Each structure stands twice: as structure tokens, then as C-alpha cells.
Amino acid sequence: MKRGFDPTTLEIYRALYTSVAEEMGLTLRRTAHSPNIKERRDYSCAVFDSAGRVIAQGDHMPVHLGSMPMAVAAALRETSIGPGDVVALNDPFAGGTHLPDVTLVSGVFGGVLGAGDWVLGKTKRLRRGANFPTPKPQPPTPNPQPLFYVANRAHHADIGGATPGSMGMATDVYGEGLRIPPVKLVVGGRVNEDLMRLLFANVRVERERRADFEAQVGSLKTGAARLLEIVARAGREEAAEYARHLIEYSARMMRATLRTIPDGVYEAEDALDSDGVKDEEVSLRVRVEVKGERAVVDFEGSAPQVSGPVNAVEAITVSAVAYVFRCLVGAEEVPASAGLMEPIEVLAPAGTVVNATHPAPVAGGNVETSQRIVDVLFKALASALPERVPAASQGSMNNLTIGGTDPRTGREFAYYETVAGGMGARPRVDGVSGVHTHMTNSLNTPAEALEYAYPLRVRAYRLRRGSGGRGRHRGGDGVVREIETLAAARMSLLADRRARAPYGLEGGEDGKRGRDSVVRGGRASRQEAKGSRDLNPGDRVRIETPGGGGHGKDEG
């Protein structure tokens, strides 16, 4: 049934659905309590059609690109979502990525405006905001089918486990924190308080967690309300029809991009420094076959899953592939809909570091391995598209967590942050210094916000000069971030590119590797890139992040 479409209407829906996802993000950011969400914007929001296919996703975190759809798929597979229900999940083996990323999913039902009576804790609705235009109430149907689904995912600063911040060095998923399979957090508008109590008994900083969950629910409500306004105006048939056209639209855009890549087979190898348990490289291999307007991305030959927490579940690998090809589409605003990956097949053998199975530890798969998947893919594609592909960026997110008890309040705290580094040089321009690259785009926590919130003091936050690789175009410099703790605390670091440097391309030099230390009493000692340690008041953690690779031979 191909009746064609109206390019005007398509454009209107493209912008409309995207703006719904963006607005959900805005609500979440402005109402969340943890600095990680409100200051660093470590979250994603998306809109799905009635079959659970993603229609639009906000430009939030690329690492969530391919993984949000899997979360919704898992929620739909394992629960049935009715009006006023909210499903929560973080299980990496059932739609999640790593445990701190908690995804909330709800349905959007005709006649129920944003499931407006959701209640969390002692919160109650005081009055309805001026939502306009108000959809006409429709008679309830006995077995309602949702018109859409909405979902958001936020990185909670702690989800339990041995290490504050839940990003420590566990050897299985049980040690990493609380695993939440798809369960109903809210049922028919009422919070499942028993479940909440169980949840909050297992995580640090309950107050903050509760507020962040409320913000996530509020964001779903915003999305639902906006979608119902669209339906009220255009009718559900047109809204659904153009959701479908949008998915096809993204697929057409991707096919057009694939046609610009010369047919052929492109291969590359890269590696993580180690898994944090054994001191040996964890190898990643990819073979990309491009033929016409289709591509097959095969990770056969990558290392088997490891006992340290750098295993990536399949959702992450798909996200990284989606990210790389989305970049090749260019700066054009294309909705990250289900259609984007339609022409691309990803083969990630189960039981490997790119498709880990239960009970592998996965905390770093999301944040470190995802970056290396991007690196190896770009490395392979560099020979196909030497004019477009950049040299390697820093290739790490430099995940730092510090937790303990705040002496000012007697309350627990858990600080989590990722640190920027150098961007790889591009074929026509230098790499950017001190910036987040590829799979993350989270902001820093301002020193002045951080020090209000935690018993920490930022001692330095500056560029690491000369760390970018030389070349015709230089790689961007990494940064130095030094944080002093004012309380006894436990820190953990999860970082990479401390052994193998970010690669240069076309004769450009590699970027400088990162390095880390703890300064105690004026004396610095080396800190493992993947590991935890106890800190005394006055200790300073110093992170020096990698520079980006250079591009082209330096002629001068």
C-alpha cells in the first residue's frame, strides 16, 4: 500500500515529533535534582509509534541512539502498558545499557491527557497548567491501544553496588548495582510504593533518586500531552500515517548516504587498553561491506567477553554503528527514527565484548567500549572516505566517581562526571580541544555548582597543551581536571587510551595518551585508569585526558 506522501506534511511532522522529544528533555533537565541530569544533561528522550518503533529522538546522547528502541521493545515484551502505567528498567540484558541508565516508558492513550494523575511520593497535582488546545475527552474504550509510546533515559548518579556511583570494578553485573527488569513503577496512575521502597533501599542518596524519578515521569507527561495535542488537531490516522512516513524518510536519507560510499569491504582493528582486571588489550575488529545502498557491519573476530566491566551489550554496539553512519549523513536534521538503521545490518557475535551476555559486568561498555567501536569503524571507513573521516578522538569518557558522606550535612553524596578530551583532526580542519566527542555530549558540572553540591573543590580545569597529535591538521588538546576532596571518600575511575594512543590518519601523529594520578601531601602517585581507591580529606585526583590524533603529514 504505497500511496505516496505530501512533502509539506512530512516536513511539518518531522519538526513536530522532534520538538516533542526535545521538549521532554527540557522538562527533565529543568526539574531533575542531580547535577548529572540537570547540569550535565546525561539523558535522552524519544517518541515511538504504536508498534514501538522510534519516530524521533532528541539530540541528547548518541550512545542512546540505538538502545532506546530496545528498551521500549523489552518493556512491551515483558509487560503490558495500560493508561497511567509507567514501566522502569535498567537491565542491560533486557533493553538496558548499563545499570545507572534507568529508562522509563509509558503509553499515550487517546482521551487520557498525559495520564495526568500520576502521583509519586507525596506529590500531588495542584492544578492543571494551561495545556492548549485541550483535546476533546473521548469515551474510554474497554481495551485501549496506545497511540504512541514515550520514553526517557537518565543516568542516575548511583544505582547501588559496591562503589558509590555504581561505576566500579565489579566482575559480574550483580556487583555493579541494582538490576531492574521491566517492571511497573506506576500502575494506573498510582505509584507502586512497595517497589519504590525496595528500590530506594538499594541505592545511595534516596532523596535525589526520588526527585529524579519524579522529573522523569514529569517529562513523559509533557511528551504525552504534546502528542495528544497533535492527535487532537490532525486526527490519529494522519498522525500515525506520517509517523510511518518519517521512518521511511530516515531510511531514504541513510540509503542516499550509503550510495556515496564506494562499494567494497573495509576492515580495521583497534583495542581497549585492558578490562581493568587482566593487564592485556581487549581487541575489537570490524569488517564493513558496502554494496549500493546497503551496508553490513560485522564484528566477527572481536575479543570474547571479559571479566572486567568493559563489556558492551548489543544495544550499545548498534548505537555506535548508528552514530557513525548518522554522522556520514551530515549536518542535516534527520530524525533518529527506526528507519535510520533499516539499510544497515549489524552482526555482533553473542558472547563477545560487543554483544555480552548475562552475567557479564557492563558499566564501561556504555561509556568506554562504545567509543572504541566508533574508533574502529571510522578507521575502517577512512580508506573508503579519506576526505570525510576524522582521526581518532580521545576515545574515552574518563568516568570519575567520588562518594562518601558530606560533613556539612551528614548526608551521603555520589558525584559522577565524565571529562572532555581532544577531538581528532578532520581532513580539512584541526580537531577541537577540550570537548566531548562521539558517543557522549554531556556538559561539565560548573566548579561553582559542584562545590555547592558536594564536599569537593575543583583545583584546576584547563587544557592539556601539546597533547593533540601533530599533522597538517592538529588533533585537539585534552584537558587537565584536578579535584580535591574535603571529606574521606571513595573514588573510582573508568578510563581508557592510557596505553594505546588515539590514532592519527594520513600521516598525522597520534594524540597523547591520558594519565591519572592522586596527589597526597604534595606527592603524586599513579592512579590506575580502571580502579578504585580510598581518599583522605585533602587528596587531589588529577585526570589528564588524551589528545586527538592528527590528520595529514606536518609539512612545516
Partner 1 sequence: MKKGERVRVGVDTGGTFTDFVHHAGGRARVFKVPSTPDDPSRAIAEGLRRAAMEAGVRVRDLEVVHGTTVGTNALLERKGARAALVTTEGFEDVLVIGRQARGSLYDLDWTRPAPLVEDALRFGVRERVAADGSVVEELTDEEVESLVKKLKRARPESIAVCLLFSFTHPEHERRIERALAEALEGVPLSVSHRILPEYREFERTSTVAINAYLQPLMGTYLGRLGAHVAGRRLRVMQSSGGSISARAAAEEPVRTILSGPAGGVVGAAHAAGAAGFEDVITFDMGGTSTDVALVAGGRLKLTNEASVAGLPVAVPVLDIHTVGAGGGSIARVDAGGSLRVGPESAGAVPGPACYGRSDLPTVTDANLVLGRFGGADLLGGEFELDESRAVGALSKLARAMSAAGGRAVSATEAALGVVRVVNAGMERALRAVSVERGFDPRGCALVTFGGAGGLHAVELARHLRVPRVLVPRAPGALSALGCLRADVLKSLSRTLMLEVGSDAKAQAARVERAFGEMEREARSALKREGFSDERQRHERTIAARYAGQSFELEIGWDGGRRLVERFHQEHEARYGYAQTAASIEVVSARLRSSGLVEGLKDERPRRSASASSNVKPQRTARVHFDEGARHVDVYRREELPAGARLRTPCVVTEYSSTTLVPAGSRAFTDRLGNLVIEL
Q: Which is nearer to partner 1, 107 or 361 (CB)?
A: 107
Site for partner 1 in 173-212 (CB under 8 A): 207-208, 211
Q: Which stretch binds partner 1 (CB under 8 A): 174-182, 214-222, 308-316, 344-352?
A: 214-222
Q: Which is nearer to partner 1, 305 or 437 (CB)?
A: 437
Q: Which of 432, 505, 529, 541: binder of partner 1 (CB under 8 A)?
A: 432
Q: Which of 442, 485, 492, 527: binder of partner 1 (CB under 8 A)?
A: 442
Q: Which of 201, 350, 460, 524: binder of partner 1 (CB under 8 A)?
A: 460
CB of 332 to partner 1, least distance (A): 6
- C-alpha span between 276 and 493 (Å, rounded): 10
Does 14 help bind partner 1 (rule: CB under 8 A)? yes
- C-alpha span between 527 and 543 (Å, rounded): 9
Site for partner 1 in 326-365 (CB under 8 A): 326-327, 329-332, 334
Which amino acid, one-letter code, is at 66? G
Q: How far is CA 352 from CA 162, 357, 380, in A?
A: 25, 8, 20
Beta-bridge mates of residue 446: none
Does 478 help bind partner 1 (rule: CB under 8 A)? no
Nearest CA to 284 among 190, 338, 349, 187? 349
- C-alpha span between 147 and 112 (Å, rounded): 11
Does 459 help bind partner 1 (rule: CB under 8 A)? yes
Q: Which of 429, 534, 538, 553: binder of partner 1 (CB under 8 A)?
A: 429
C-alpha cell at 41: 544533561
Per-residue mark of binding to partner 1, 393-422 (x: CB under 8 A): --------------------------xx--
Q: Which of 222, 394, 396, 485: binder of partner 1 (CB under 8 A)?
A: 222
Q: Which is nearer to partner 1, 44 or 532 (CB)?
A: 44
CB of 442 to partner 1, least distance (A): 7
Does 519 help bind partner 1 (rule: CB under 8 A)? no
Q: Which is nearer to partner 1, 192 or 461 (CB)?
A: 461
Nearest CA to 228 among 53, 123, 100, 109? 109
3-state SS assignment for residue 254? helix
Beta-bridge mates of residue 286: 268
Using CB under 8 A as the binding criterion, the count of chain residues that bind partner 1 stands at 99
Fill in the DSSP letter of residue 6.
-
Question: Is the peptide bond between 407 and the residue preceding it cis, with omega within 30 degrees of 0?
Answer: no
Does 218 help bind partner 1 (rule: CB under 8 A)? yes
Alpha helices in 166-235 (DSSP H): 193-200, 206-234
Q: Which of 112, 225, 303, 377: binder of partner 1 (CB under 8 A)?
A: 225
CB of 172 to partner 1, least distance (A): 33
Q: Which of 21, 94, 258, 435: binder of partner 1 (CB under 8 A)?
A: 435
Q: Which is nearer to partner 1, 436 or 498 (CB)?
A: 436
Alpha helices in 41-154 (DSSP H): 67-78
Site for partner 1 in 49-88 (CB under 8 A): 59, 62
Integer-rounded Cα radius of gyration of the chain: 23
Q: Which of 69, 107, 361, 390: binder of partner 1 (CB under 8 A)?
A: 390
| Letter string b/e over residues 368-384, b meaning 16 or more CB atoms within 10 A of that residue's CB | bbbbbbbbbbbbbbbeb
Per-residue mark of binding to partner 1, 292-331 (x: CB under 8 A): -------------------------------x--xx-xxx
148 Cβ contact list (under 8 Å, min separation 6): 47, 48, 49, 50, 55, 107, 108, 224, 227, 243
Q: Which stretch binds partner 1 (CB under 8 A): 12-20, 154-162, 283-291, 307-315?
A: 12-20
3-state SS assignment for residue 56? strand
Are 184 and 115 a contacting pair, CB within 8 Å? Answer: no
Does 135 help bind partner 1 (rule: CB under 8 A)? no
CB of 121 to partner 1, least distance (A): 6
Q: Which is nearer to partner 1, 176 or 430 (CB)?
A: 430
CB of 395 to partner 1, least distance (A): 15
3-state SS assignment for residue 105? strand
**Residue matched to cell numbers 561505576:** 167
Number of H helices, E strands in the chain: 9, 20
CB of 48 to partner 1, least distance (A): 20
Site for partner 1 in 233-272 (CB under 8 A): 249-250, 252-253, 256
Q: Which stretch binds partner 1 (CB under 8 A): 87-95, 135-143, 354-362, 446-454?
A: 446-454
Q: Which of 198, 265, 449, 524: binder of partner 1 (CB under 8 A)?
A: 449
Which helix (H) or strand (E) is 321 found in, with range? helix 314-329
Site for partner 1 in 28-47 (CB under 8 A): 29-33, 35, 38-39, 41
Question: For residue 431, how far is the Cα from the chain centroid?
Answer: 22
Would you call 110 exposed, middle or buried from its count of C-beta atoms within 10 A (0-12, 13-18, 19+)? buried
CB of 10 to partner 1, least distance (A): 5
CB of 84 to partner 1, least distance (A): 14
**Residue matched to cell numbers 578490562:** 275
CB of 133 to partner 1, least distance (A): 7
Nearest CA to 165 among 443, 493, 483? 493
Sign of CA dihedral 314, 320, 323, 327: negative
CB of 4 to partner 1, least distance (A): 3
Site for partner 1 in 109-128 (CB under 8 A): 114, 116, 118, 121-127
Nearest CA to 261 among 290, 234, 224? 290
Q: Which of 448, 523, 555, 556: binder of partner 1 (CB under 8 A)?
A: 448
Q: Which is nearer to partner 1, 173 or 439 (CB)?
A: 439
- Residue 457 phi/psi, 5° resolution? -135, 130
Q: Which is nearer to partner 1, 155 or 285 (CB)?
A: 155
Are 549 and 502 a contacting pair, CB within 8 Å? Answer: yes
